[in-house]
Amino acid sequence: MKKSIAAIALATLFSANTIAAQNDWNFVDLGYTSANYEDLDSNPDGFSIKGSYLVNDNIILTADFQRLSDDLYGVDVDLDQLSVGAGYRFVLNDKTEAYAILSYERIEAKAQYMGYSDDEDDNGYGLTAGIRQMVGENVELKVEAGYVNTSDDREMSYTLGGRYYINDQWSVAFDYALASERNLTSFSARYQF
């Protein structure tokens, strides 16, 4: 009887972690992001909200909105970035998968100073490729490369991240991204459904 209960408990633990990894593409994610720009005396920070949906075994739909704000020499600056995309995931084994995402990108910068305001926006596309691997029962690591091309700018980024699965519905993450002219540090909480 004790062996049966232990076997059921282990099977439940294993299946919960497998489910968490498989359902990880169906989520809503809320986070905090801080940026450090190389050429500016500015460290804007703010929030991000992300979502993803796995349409079938391999097709992914994604959406991501980020707003960073700062006060730069008395000027209030807001930087918004919207990304909406579709992608494909490749299951390599029961702990590892690769993915590629093509996205529409919209970037908007707003500045306000003493009642005056100005804004600029730009559109383009993004490409993202990455690998995610479970390295423990509840820990996932990811490595990602991204490219965003707009009419005004092009940017490469490289991200290293880790995620801890609290259970099959909740997880927390830390990401560090190194981009062409800035570094981003993010913390987030995710609800998987």
What's residue 72's pLDDT?
81
Instruction: Measure the CA–CA gap between 148 and 150, rounded to whole angstroms.
Output: 7
What's residue 38's pLDDT?
79
Residue 74: closest CA among 36, 34, 112? 112
What's residue 141's pLDDT?
97
Please identify every stretch of the chain with a pLDDT value under 70, giving residue numbers as ranges: 1-23
What's residue 180's pLDDT?
84
The contacts of residue 169 (CB under 8 Å, 6+ apart) are 191, 192, 193
What's residue 73's pLDDT?
82
What's residue 42's pLDDT?
77
What's residue 68's pLDDT?
96
What's residue 8's pLDDT?
47
**Which pTM value belongs to this model?**
0.83
What's residue 92's pLDDT?
94
Asked if residues 170 and 188 have their Cβ atoms less than 8 Å apart, the reply is no
Asked if residues 150 and 123 have their Cβ atoms less than 8 Å apart, the reply is yes
The domains of the chain, with CATH numbers, are 2-192 (2.40.160.20)
What's residue 37's pLDDT?
84
Residue 128: closest CA among 34, 29, 62? 62
